[in-house]
Amino acid sequence: MCIPQDNPPTLYVVVPCYNEEEVLPETAHRLSRKMAMLMQEHRISPASRVLFANDGSRDQTWAIIRQLHDDPEYNGLFTGISLAHNRGHQNVLFAGLMEARNRGCDITISMDADLQDDIDAMDAMISAYEEGADIVFGVRDNRETDTRFKRGTAHAFYRLMQRMGTETVPDSADYRLMDARSLDALAQYGESNLFLRGIVASLGFSTAKVYYKRGERFAGTSKYPLSKMLSFAMDGITSFSVTPLRIVAGSGALFVIVSLLMFVYALVSLALGSTVGGWTSLLISIWFVGGAIMLSLGIVGEYVGRIYIESKHRPRYIVADKLD
Ligand code: UDP
Ligand code: MG
């Protein structure tokens, strides 16, 4: 499989880290072995690096990254940037990718710090790049290591996204290869409400998929509690789709039609002499319509809120520190 190249590409592996002190040393160790092997096989250039993007961690994460950077044993393989605040996985990943782009890499591979993504899939990703792909998605071929809850919600999420018209590659997380061309395209996306999976899937270019087995988190706990997962799903839908607004408008129209029918019914029963009796049905419909209005307003409000946030054009993140 290995095609030794005269002029191998410079690879930056971008690893977002939020409170990952427990796994970082092991991640660094395994990545350094992988990088050394790839360099030996002349598949990546000796200028290739691992870039840790620290997402405002509150533990020793940044200190460990600095140590790795200074460690003579690793010979400058590790570098990093550190955000001033915790801005979330998508933003810190974007920050890391843009930093790699600015440093003149040919390709990036983004992966989680917790070693759930199979490092050995990198070889196949680079092969796909050599064969002409600009973007290579890592797609997990099983979800056995996930809890049933996570598996169920993830599948429901992908189905919902598809219905709503957001492009995603099902079962691919943020383990993927992107070349300089696709990074240039990504850099043009200025939104604060960043949903990388959707953006990258909609970029176009030539893409490929590499299947891999996703393992368990090596150590530590998930940094994605349910609340973050829900807001992530919300971002994914609202940043790509106005379908919820259309549903609101559609149900509004439906209510109007129903009320017209009721009106006709009431008129007919009045003409027939039977008075409209019982306030139960009345009460039910008032509550129902009230609830529907509030729900609709909530959905509209969600979009308005996002417009407000986008309209401020605030920076997505602030880099506090850089190693180079
Ligand atoms: N992460 C981050 N900022 C956050 C939450 C997570 O940079 O606010 C990073 C985390 O360090 C890890 C990756 O995103 O490298 C995925 O997080 P995690 O493994 O906890 O998510 P899960 O695999 O449980 O979905
Ligand atoms: Mg994980």
Q: How far is the CA of 144 from the centre of ligand 2 (A)?
A: 14
Backbone angles phi, psi at 239, to 5 degrees: -80, -10
CB of residue 55 inside a 6 A radius of ligand 1? yes
Q: Are 147 and 24 within one domain?
A: yes
Nearest alpha-carbon partner for 209 in 184, 173, 176: 176
What is the model's pTM?
0.83
For residues 74 and 65, is the Cβ–Cβ distance under 8 A? no
Residue 127 falls inside a structural domain: yes
Residue 59 falls inside a structural domain: yes
Q: How far is the CA of 130 from the centre of ligand 1 (A)?
A: 29
Residue 261 falls inside a structural domain: yes
In a 13 Å sphere around the CA of 91, the CA atoms on its Cβ side amount to: 21
The secondary element (H helix, E strand) that includes residue 80 is strand 78-83
Q: Are 120 and 183 within one domain?
A: yes
Residue 234 falls inside a structural domain: no
Q: Are 202 and 58 within one domain?
A: yes
Q: Are 197 and 269 within one domain?
A: no
Residue 15 alpha carbon, nearest atom of ligand 1: 15
Reduced to 3 states (helix: H, G, I; strand: E, B; else coil), residue 125 is helix
Q: According to the model, what pLDDT value does residue 275 have?
A: 65
Q: According to the model, what pLDDT value does residue 2 have?
A: 46
Q: How far is the CA of 225 from the centre of ligand 1 (A)?
A: 10
Reduced to 3 states (helix: H, G, I; strand: E, B; else coil), residue 211 is strand
Q: According to the model, what pLDDT value does residue 43 have?
A: 92
Give the CATH number for residue 188. 3.90.550.10
Q: How far is the CA of 77 from the centre of ligand 1 (A)?
A: 22
Number of separate domains in the chain: 2
DSSP letter for 86, please: -
Q: Are 65 and 199 within one domain?
A: yes
Residue 122, both tokens: 């990198």
Q: Are 130 and 207 within one domain?
A: yes
The parent domain of residue 178 ranges over 11-222+319-323
- State how far Cα 280 lies from the chain centre: 47
Nearest alpha-carbon partner for 55 in 26, 103, 14: 14
Reduced to 3 states (helix: H, G, I; strand: E, B; else coil), residue 63 is helix
For residues 34 and 48, is the Cβ–Cβ distance under 8 A? no
Q: Are 117 and 166 within one domain?
A: yes
Q: Are 297 and 159 within one domain?
A: no
Residue 209 falls inside a structural domain: yes
Residue 251 falls inside a structural domain: yes
Nearest alpha-carbon partner for 16 in 99, 75, 118: 99
Q: Are 60 and 185 within one domain?
A: yes
Sequential pLDDT tens for the chain (324 residues) = 445 557 899 999 999 999 999 999 999 999 999 999 999 999 999 999 999 999 999 999 999 999 999 999 888 899 999 999 998 899 999 999 999 999 989 999 999 999 888 999 999 999 999 999 999 999 988 766 677 787 788 888 888 888 887 788 877 889 999 999 999 999 998 887 788 888 898 888 999 999 988 878 887 888 878 888 888 888 888 887 888 888 888 888 888 888 888 888 878 887 887 766 666 677 778 878 887 888 888 888 888 888 888 888 888 899 999 988
Q: Are 55 and 172 within one domain?
A: yes
Q: According to the model, what pLDDT value does residue 245 have?
A: 83
Residue 237 falls inside a structural domain: no
Backbone angles phi, psi at 53, to 5 degrees: -110, 105
CB of residue 113 inside a 6 A radius of ligand 1? yes
Q: According to the model, what pLDDT value does residue 186 have?
A: 93
Q: Which ligand is nearest to the CA of 89?
A: 1
Q: Are 154 and 247 within one domain?
A: no
- State how far Cα 138 lies from the chain centre: 13
Measured at the CA of 307, the angle between CA 304 and CA 312, to 5 degrees, comes to 135
DSSP letter for 72, please: G
Residue having the nearest C-alpha atom to atom 14 of ligand 1: 89
Q: Are 21 and 100 within one domain?
A: yes
Q: According to the model, what pLDDT value does residue 1 have?
A: 43
Q: Say how many C-beta atoms besides its own lie within 10 A of residue 313's C-beta.
A: 8
Residue 267 falls inside a structural domain: yes
Q: Which ligand is nearest to the CA of 20?
A: 1
Bridge partners of 140?
212
Q: Which ligand is nearest to the CA of 24?
A: 1
